[in-house]
């Protein structure tokens, strides 16, 4: 269960994550090896397949100009909606933008994948086993 703690003034979270998200998205597209047009087509195809609107107004598909603005750290006022960001993370198989959002709260939150989740469960189980063995030894020594 997540716990929260009071932060001092030097540890206040930075909730303005616009530039970081835009930069992360640009790095993800670059790392994909796709051109921006190919990445846009992949995103629009997924949006149509999953029935997710990527843009407001009458536009049926996301245009290249808007997509370029999403990826431009110097245009932080142009960010994708939460639905579009969610689809972007799905399409490019990266949770980096969501991780930025999670970490921005200053509570050591982070997004982890399934493998890391299993490793975390394993580590917690090992710690619990160690504690139970110590308790068992203590009980046995009292007999």
What is the reported pLDDT for 13? 59
Computed on alpha carbons and rounded to an integer, the radius of gyration of the chain in Å comes to: 22
CA 53 to chain centre: 20
Mean pLDDT of 6-24: 71
- Mean pLDDT for the stretch of residues 108-132: 92
- Confidence grade of residue 77 (pLDDT, cut at 50, 70, 90): confident
- Note the pLDDT tens digit of each residue in 18-76: 999 999 999 999 999 999 999 999 999 999 999 999 988 888 899 999 999 999 999 87
Using DSSP's 3-state secondary structure scheme, residue 47 falls into helix
Q: Where are the alpha helices (DSSP H) in 5-113?
A: 18-32, 36-50, 64-70, 82-91, 96-103
Q: What pLDDT score was predicted for residue 9?
A: 45
Average pLDDT of the chain?
88
> What is the pLDDT confidence band of residue 5, given thresholds at 50, 70 and 90?
low
């Amino acid at each position: 269960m997540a716990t929260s703690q009071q932060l001092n003034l030097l540890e206040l979270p930075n909730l303005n994550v616009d530039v970081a998200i835009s930069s992360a998205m640009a790095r993800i597209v670059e790392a994909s090896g796709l051109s921006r047009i190919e990445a846009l087509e992949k995103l629009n195809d997924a949006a149509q397949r999953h029935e997710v609107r990527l843009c407001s107004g009458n536009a049926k598909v996301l245009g290249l100009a808007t997509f370029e603005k999403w990826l431009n750290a110097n245009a932080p006022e142009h960010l994708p909606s939460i639905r579009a960001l969610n689809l972007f993370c799905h399409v490019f198989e990266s949770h980096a933008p969501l991780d930025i959002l999670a970490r921005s709260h200053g509570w050591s939150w982070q997004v982890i994948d399934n493998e890391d989740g299993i490793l975390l469960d394993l580590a917690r189980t090992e710690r619990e086993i160690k504690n139970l063995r110590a308790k068992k030894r203590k009980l046995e020594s009292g007999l």
